[in-house]
Amino acid sequence: MRKTKVKIVKSHGKRAYKVESITPDGSRSRRFFQDKNLAQDFADQCNRESVEAFNVDQHLRVEALACHKRLEPVGWTLTMATDYAMRHAIVYNDAPPIEALVQKFLTEKEADLKEGSLRRRSFDDLRSRLGAFKERFGDRQLHEIIKKDLEEWNAEMRTDGNGPTTRGHYLKKAGQLFNWAIPDYCERNPVQQIRLPHKKHEEIEFFKVAECQRLLQACAAAGVQYYVVLGLFLGIRPNELLRLPARDVDIAERIIRLEAPVTKMSQRRVIELRAGEPEFDAVIAWLTGVAFPAQMTEDSLRGKLDKLKTLSKVNWVFDGLRRSACTYHVARHNDLVQTSYLMGHTNVRTLQQHYLGLATRPEADAFYAIRPHNLAV
């Protein structure tokens, strides 16, 4: 065994002490010192490590050789593999299990809920979906979860009968947990590495003009006149309508304010009911003199909508009021930017992909011409 020694050399015109050694990967290393004692200490350390290397037991030598054979084809050394493991895995050895992290994350989100920056509905959805993630992976550590694990979970959910939209929501909520945990509990978000399930494109369903007439004719008796009119002509989302307070709806002054706590995207928007615009004139015609109803809960709304379906004899379409508003507004104005603003979209992509050409201009004109006095009682 070659012993590492200290040699006196000239470096930049000055006396220096050189130590040559062989690194664990077999390459030669040279280090220079101005202080002889520091150089000797380093040489002694190299010699101790060499002695330790020669005294490695048989089991460890066999394991090292086996690992070397696995790493050699990809150009990695044992040192490279060890450094990688230290940086990307071992650093998280003491991290709590997923079950504890989910609880910690939800505790922080609960604080956001109390401050008003997170809605109850959003928090409940997050808690429910992360509960499923915790049930599936709870005893593992977050950094251990890889793309393959999530793909298997997605396949299991599909087998259990969950559709693509539902599975996508579960995976997205798991992605929120990963993003929150970086870099303290994991290094990356594997949800970003998989292709999220998407529902196949389907033709948008909306209420035809005759169906809109029956809905409008029955909405007052069902106790949902404001709900139907604002949803059908202005496209205000169902949950936004539930949260909309009476003080922000002024039909006499022709203005509706949707404050940030009310809107889906927490972005305030104001709808001015300008005279001469068919959608706004229709709202004025249907709601002038009509008192704004008391705040409804989801349960009370469900009962009123059941009554509306019975009275109108219309086959209900999921989100049909808003979809009809989009469809007829696009057909009437042919201005995607204008429709996007009214609907509270952040861009025109949804309208381009799903709503162009669904209705004709004459159909839109007939829709906006529906008035209380035109309907038989």
Contact in structure between 315 and 207 (CB atoms under 8 Å):
no
Fold equal for 98-193 and 209-374: no
Query: For the chain, which residues make up each domain, given as ranges?
Result: 6-88, 98-193, 209-374
- 220 vs 10: CA distance, rounded Å: 99
CATH of the domain spanning 98-193: 1.10.150.130
Residue 27 has pLDDT above 90, yes or no: no
Reported as a single tens digit per residue, the pLDDT across 138-175 is: 889 999 999 999 999 999 999 888 889 899 999 999 99
pLDDT band at 44 (very low <50, low <70, confident <90, very high): confident
Question: Hey, which bits of the chain come out as E strands?
Answer: 6-11, 14-22, 28-33, 249-250, 255-258, 269-272
Predicted local distance difference test score (pLDDT) of residue 140: 92
- 367 vs 349: CA distance, rounded Å: 24
pTM over 0.75: no
Q: Does domain 209-374 have CATH number 2.170.270?
A: no
Residue type, 6: V
